[in-house]
Amino acid sequence: MTRKILTILTLLVLALGSTSLLAKQKPFLIHGQLPHLTGVIMQLWDDEDLALTPKQKAELKQIRIRTIGGLGTIKGEVFPLEAEIVEASNNGATPESLEDDVEKLAALRAEATMIHIKCIYDTKKVLTKKQLQLLE
């Protein structure tokens, strides 16, 4: 019985730890459910089946530059703010004293998520239906 409890606790700690690591790597509100189309497209950039035109490549590069630039700025704010909130909470800060920072963190993560959603939308507008089917 004790061994089962320890196994369950170990799995729980590992699961919570990996969730925390995932959230630290990405500044989004939604994890693992929205595609990262530009990343996939970059891997298939010169793929004959995808057959991106020079015009599409130019447009996709601009979308990627805009997206990465916007997310880079937000990441620089999200992760330090998150660490500050965690440290303050661990040191006994009241929920009221953390409320403004938590709301700011939520707003930054929402902004990052909207940048991601806009990237998906803009990317889909550049690609043909056939190209989109290849990426699914």
Given a cut of 60, whether residue 8 has pLDDT beyond it is: no
> Rounded to two decimals, what is the model's pTM?
0.77
- Residue 68 near residue 116, CB atoms below 8 Å: no
Mean pLDDT value of segment 124-133: 96
Given a cut of 70, whether residue 87 has pLDDT beyond it is: yes
Number of folded domains that form the chain:
1
Residues 6+ apart with CB under 8 A from 21: none
State the pLDDT at residue 7.
40
Domain containing 78 equals 2-135
Mean pLDDT value of segment 110-134: 96
19 — pLDDT class (breaks 50, 70, 90): very low
State the pLDDT at residue 83.
96
State the pLDDT at residue 26.
87
State the pLDDT at residue 92.
96
